[in-house]
Amino acid sequence: MQLNLAVFVSGRGSNFQALLEAIASGKLHAKIAVLISDRSEAGALQFAQYAKIPTEVLACRDEEKYEHTLRLALHKREANFIVLAGYLRKIPSSIIRAFHGRIINIHPALLPSFGGKGMYGSHVHQAVLDYGCKVSGATVHFVEEEYDTGAPILQRCIPVLDDDTSETLAARVLQVEHQLLPEALQLFAEERIELEERSVRII
């Protein structure tokens, strides 16, 4: 499958950079058709401009306009697969339905634990530490209409260390994210993912 990716980012875009590096090294057979952000100050936009990748900033608050503009952006760039890589705004249900089985997210914890609304960034890692977990990690999962409820595709664990802070844990989980997201997308490029209800098989 030829992946024409629309990558959605709200922040600095380290996972976006990891995808660029994986493509450049030949580990990921895909093209990034467009970078979409809901924040004009997102650092990822600068990386995209440097890499000569088209960008779209969708900062409007009106939900109908947001949905319409998003749909046009995806159509214009001929995107056939959506990657949420640190995107904080909810994706409209109509887009999720249109891209069913072709929209994934990277989450900095082992879902279904520490997921849902408000569980992003340092909030996730602090919650892991507050609970006293011995392991954490990252999850690549399909996107459904509710936050972090789609079937997991790939997960990878790391130990939580006795002296971890939310910052040190986040840094180590992020290294796993940078490995896991390109790996998951390459499985799609090789057509090795099968989804049946909540069961994901790698063939």
14: three-class secondary structure by DSSP: helix
Encode 112-144 in three state secondary structure: CCCCCCCCCCHHHHHHHHHHCCCEEEEEEEECC
Asked if residue 83 lies in contact with residue 6, where contact means CB atoms within 8 angstroms, the answer is yes
Given the residues 29, 75, 107, 141, select the one marked as catalytic. Answer: 107
Q: Are 102 and 80 in contact (CB under 8 A)?
A: yes
Distance CA 12, CA 5 (A): 18
Q: Is residue 4 within 8 Å of residue 79, measured between CB atoms?
A: yes
178 is catalytic: no
Residues 6+ apart with CB under 8 A from 11: 39, 42, 43, 44, 86
**How far apart, in whole angstroms, are the C-alpha atoms of residue 103 and residue 81?**
6
In degrees, to the nearest 5, what angle opens at C-alpha 16 toward C-alphas 72 and 78?
25
With the C-alpha atoms ordered 45, 171, 168, 130, is the resulting torsion angle positive or negative? positive
Catalytic positions, written as ranges: 107
